[in-house]
Amino acid sequence: MDHILALLLLLLSSGLQAEGNDNPAESVRLVGGASRCAGTLEVKHEGEWRSVGDVFSYWTLKDAAVACRELECGSAVSVTRREESSDRSVWWVRSDCLQSKSLRECVNSDSSSVILNLVCLDSVRLVNGTSLCSGRLEVKSDQSNQSWSSVCEADFDQQDAEVVCRELGCGAPLVLQGALYGEVESPMWTKEFQCGGDESALLDCRSSGSARKTCSPGRAVGLTCSEPSRLVGGDSRCAGTLEVKQGEWRTVGDSDWTLKEAAAVCRELDCGSTLSVGLKWESSDRPVWSISPDCVHSGSVMRECVTAYSSPSSLGVTCSDSVRLVNGTSLCSGRLEVKSGQSNQSWSSVCETDFDQQDAEVVCKQIGCGAPLVLQGALYGEVEAPMWTKEFQCRGDESALLDCRSSGSDRNTCSPGRAVGLTCSEPVRLVGGDSRCAGTLELNLNGDLRPVRPSDWNLKKAAVICRELNCGAAVSFGEKESSFKPAWWVRSDCVQSGSALRECAAPNFSSSLLNLTCSDLLV
């Protein structure tokens, strides 16, 4: 009897262990699509297959990439939602769980009429990159369909890269370089790709007849494609309505974006400092993308953060196209970098001997900040090259640094520790009080001067403003009634994270204004 009981316990233990060791890929599938790597997402949990519904959290491309990896498919290309006529039993997958666990470990039972459809590539992917548009290139043959192979740099050129970037849903190729995203020994793709550049998929391209036996170390193809985001309808490529492509181009519509989120757009587009962000309203709802600020702050690019949405709003962003401050403590401080309108290729630091107080006044005004406070070499780090080669000769009243006159001769060298570091004052003030440290709080964003509405304020948040104004400690805050007028709404979580007031403000309207009193004692 004891032997029978022991045997039953052993069988039960083995069954549980086998269930716990199931391959995650055997619990996830895409059905109804053109291949095993496209279709409706289904997960098997507790012995039951169900579709995944978009119940509480909106899935992004970043979430879809987890499912593609589990399925041994390639890069995630799109995630869409299918609306059904009535609710049915689905699995709800917690997206915050996905980054550390498998899909089946993140499911909860629920009901929904919104079902998730995913498209992954079945033969191409980029791995170990900084986004879905960068990484080491790997290819899986439709014939063998067993393992992913890296590609040798000698078998891959610019036209091949154009096909891959387009197949991934990314923009044009930016960088193509061996071992850019790590090196692997094997397996390696054995034939040379010979794309014309207009094919829709890499495996549609012709290839060489003879197979390559070896590939030199450090030559596995690393590829960076541009991100499919753009600003349209503005005065330059660095200003206008924000559009992102995930399968199709759509505008981004959001109501709570601040300069801090907009700064991510300017970086992604290789534009300069962030000047303004605002909403434009249409007469009716239309399909747009919604982008969560939390996703942007996590370091993800725009394309990985979009979810489908309907709204009458569209988001406009303005970046400076030729000047920026980097490595600073806010958008109004950092090492000065300039990009020439002629070459428009790379950013150059400026030598301290080629830059003075009047030049600084122009830069601070151009990026929407207040007057210069500190101008000092290597204040925000030092770089070796490239360096701006001419001396700026601004009068101080120009609207942009590149509008200023410059010296005729080029500078060939710049002493170490002399790259210009600049701190401008924040464009915030208190007006109507007994001193400059008391009154109604006003904020100037790129020439748009508005009061601040008093929602969700406390002394801890008010203390940030007093510090920005160099006015000591916060003593009190309150509301002042006014007519309904344009105002700034300031996100409290943003301010308390250490960001300047200017980086946390979004356009809004209010009939109440914030009054603030600081101690007026210099810190």
Q: Is 459 among the domain residues?
A: yes
Q: What pLDDT is attached to residue 389? A: 86
Contact 401, 393 (CB under 8 A): no
**Angle, vertex CA 327, rays to CA 315 and CA 464, nearest 5:** 70
Q: What pLDDT is attached to residue 186? A: 72
397 DSSP 8-state letter: -
Read off the CATH number of the domain in which 391 is found.
Answer: 3.10.250.10
List per-residue pLDDT tens for the chain, 523 residues long. Answer: 455 444 444 444 444 344 444 555 688 999 999 999 999 999 999 899 999 998 766 788 988 999 999 999 999 999 988 888 888 999 988 877 887 888 889 999 999 988 999 999 989 999 999 999 999 999 987 655 568 999 999 999 999 999 999 999 999 999 998 888 888 767 888 889 999 999 999 999 999 877 766 787 788 999 999 999 999 999 999 999 999 999 899 999 976 788 989 999 999 999 999 998 888 888 899 999 999 888 888 888 999 999 888 899 999 999 998 999 999 989 999 999 999 755 556 899 999 999 999 999 999 999 999 999 999 888 888 776 688 888 999 999 999 999 999 987 776 678 878 899 999 999 999 999 999 999 999 999 888 899 999 888 888 889 988 988 989 999 999 999 989 999 998 887 788 788 888 998 888 889 999 999 999 865 4
Q: Is 241 among the domain residues?
A: yes
Integer Cα distance of 231 and 223 in angstroms: 24
Q: Is 297 among the domain residues?
A: yes
Provide DSSP, 331-343: TTEEEEEE--TTT
Q: Do 67 and 54 belong to one domain?
A: yes
Q: 273, 296, 319: which is the final residue of a domain?
A: 319
Q: Do 414 and 329 belong to one domain?
A: yes
Integer Cα distance of 489 and 510 in angstroms: 9
Q: Do 335 and 419 belong to one domain?
A: yes
Q: Do 147 and 161 belong to one domain?
A: yes
Provide DSSP, 499-522: --GGGGEEEEEEEEEEEEEE----
Q: What pLDDT is attached to residue 393? A: 95
Q: Is 1 among the domain residues?
A: no
Q: What pLDDT is attached to residue 455? A: 80
Q: 424, 458, 488: which is the final residue of a domain?
A: 424
Q: Is 19 among the domain residues?
A: no
Q: Is 364 among the domain residues?
A: yes
Q: Is 399 among the domain residues?
A: yes
HSE-CB for 133 with a 13 A CA cutoff: 25
Q: Do 406 and 328 belong to one domain?
A: yes
* Domain that residue 206 falls in: 124-225
Q: 192, 225, 258: which is the final residue of a domain?
A: 225
Q: Do 344 and 420 belong to one domain?
A: yes
Q: Do 115 and 30 belong to one domain?
A: yes
Tell me the two tokens of residue 77. 């290309």
How many domains does one find in the chain?
A: 5
Tokens 């496209």 found at: 38
